[in-house]
Structure 1
């Protein structure tokens, strides 16, 4: 029985009070219909995000506090153990992205929550940006007609908070998720190049090309090496292009104009485009993280229509591993062909396949 049925607020717990966890704490404390009853972090509360709360040690202590759902904001390497503790206790969970460190862990988490009939979601905050929410609605309504290409640019300076993963698992995972989401189509294959320029063990720059099952092609530029911050998504289709800037939460439509093609007969089937009208839409700019928390609250209360499911999060983990495999091995990789090699301590490899064997 949901809290909405009983009339009482949902009892929420939060584990992880780091750079992202502090924002979850703020939103949980302000969320209508929810009471943040307990927080946990083995290293305390470095940002003072939960004044007045006892800082519990672990997930087991949150379970003992009697919570209805938990938000997991610990480092990615700990997602599996923490999420499975909550699944075993029958507690719904919102897990910060990515769902898990590798495919095996993501599959294990997803299976546990589905088997228990629990609400499980992944915190892909970009999906809740007003610009991308409106973009997806307009694409679903057919504003661009057939989709040709999705391009994203996610660039900025290195965040000192990241110590356990590279730029692919930290940032590119957003773009792989949102490209499949706005197009309503999963990735079919990817090709990637990455590099390390900052002296860290993991990659800090990546260029990815992909193709969705729908036939739409994608391009993603992601790095921690730019002295400016850029978060741009461009979707090009037969009727024009939509450009979403998630830093400013702006969405702009560039319509195709008519371009006469006075060419010889053999070229008559080609019709070019020219510059048409441009419209920047007026959007209500709500905080994406607040919208994400509202969506998860509604899911726990019975309406899961606006969450990123763990099954979707698993698909993105597969796409991420395909990108890393492609960059490492120098070839096109299909996400559905990536498996885990038990002899390689959880490292991803690709199963033999006749598809995607060309150089990226």
Structure 2
């Protein structure tokens, strides 16, 4: 296969970054871009700008990246599947798992690559944490705690903080640990006058018994993106803003017996910040999707995986509404 012809539909705040990466991607020609509102961020770089997907498809695409509100994903993705065009759709794939499953089947039944843009899976710190966990770096896992806080993003109008930001943390937790969620309990709040929630606190449990907690909001005057994984040998702290992974080992220094006679916990030990390559996550995500379209070995988030994550966000919102713990096997798919 020669160079791939790519299109981009969605030129908002995130879409402009996709345009930048696609324009420089090896083996790919970004042939046209589109958005109903036009090119508000001057991201086209001289390429044709269209206002609807039909006009974009007229440019003869091999694949398309969709960066539009989640409320539009069903119609756009189904149109791409019917046109025989591979697609990567920004998360969340859909607002309910029934629709997400429908989209997954639409692509798989046609032999098309359908992927979803969960950017955090390509963050160097989390990829390194996942690798080390698989090698037993922390021993048995106890807990995963995430914090994703910051100011309100004015460009997000179609969903609340659970689907927009919380979906990242729920996905990365299951992915890093290789364990699915079995239950969640959540509380939400509406503090900024919007129809959608702008704060959520979640407690979850994974299939292996690991306890999780997730604090997500659009109400903090600072930006924080932290994942803490704790196990029998210590803890990993991944800061995905800086792409740093730090290991806090359990202490090995013996204490006088009289000081620890009534305490059987851990003490502070060595601290190591791992050195690693730090490629831009968005570029890695696009490289992996390109390779998948080419039929090469690639690491993409499939629409089937994304559907599982939508089920978790559904359970979170149901728990917040009902005030009870929701098991994932109770969520209708």
Structure 1 residues 61, 261: closer, same or farther in 2, change over 3 A?
A: farther
Aligned to 1:247: 241
Aligned to 1:194: 188
Please give the alpha-carbon distance, in whole angstroms, between the structure 2 residues aligned to 1:339 and 1:37. 40
Aligned to 2:36: 42
Residue correspondence of structure 1 range 263-274 to structure 2 within 5 A = 271-274=264-267
Aligned to 2:227: 233
Secondary structure (helix, strand or coil) at the match of 1:254 reads strand
Q: TM-score when scaled to structure 1? A: 0.89
Aligned to 1:314: 307
Maintained 8 Å contact 1:155/1:231: yes
1:138-159 CA deviation, whole Å, 9 max, x = no partner?
Answer: 1111111111110000000001
Kindly indicate whether structure 1 or structure 2 has the higher relative contact order, using CA contacts under 8 Å at least 6 residues apart: 2
Aligned-residue offset at 1:246: 0.6
Please give the alpha-carbon distance, in whole angstroms, between the structure 2 residues aligned to 1:145 and 1:116. 42
Q: How many residues are matched?
A: 330
Residue correspondence of structure 1 range 64-79 to structure 2 within 5 A = 64-79=58-73
Residue correspondence of structure 1 range 197-216 to structure 2 within 5 A = 197-216=191-210
Aligned-residue offset at 1:61: 2.0
Aligned to 2:146: 152
Residue correspondence of structure 1 range 1-360 to structure 2 within 5 A = 3=1, 8-258=2-252, 262=257, 271-339=264-332
Please give the alpha-carbon distance, in whole angstroms, between the structure 2 residues aligned to 1:64 and 1:304. 29
1:93-131 CA deviation, whole Å, 9 max, x = no partner?
Answer: 111011112222101101111111111111011111111
Aligned-residue offset at 1:185: 0.9
Aligned-residue offset at 1:63: 2.1
Q: Which stretches of structure 1, 4 residues or longer, exceed 6 Å deviation after superposition?
A: none
1:6-44 CA deviation, whole Å, 9 max, x = no partner?
Answer: xx2111111011111111000000100111011111111
Secondary structure (helix, strand or coil) at the match of 1:225 reads coil
User: Which of 59-68 and 103-112 deviates more?
Assistant: 59-68
Maintained 8 Å contact 1:79/1:99: yes
Aligned-residue offset at 1:305: 3.6
Please give the alpha-carbon distance, in whole angstroms, between the structure 1 residues aligned to 2:209 and 2:257. 30
Maintained 8 Å contact 2:289/2:298: no
Secondary structure (helix, strand or coil) at the match of 1:157 reads coil
Secondary structure (helix, strand or coil) at the match of 2:272 reads strand
Secondary structure (helix, strand or coil) at the match of 1:70 reads strand
Please give the alpha-carbon distance, in whole angstroms, between the structure 1 residues aligned to 2:257 and 2:24. 62
Q: TM-score when scaled to structure 2? A: 0.96
Please give the alpha-carbon distance, in whole angstroms, between the structure 2 residues aligned to 1:60 and 1:304. 31
Aligned-residue offset at 1:260: 5.9
Maintained 8 Å contact 2:31/2:48: no
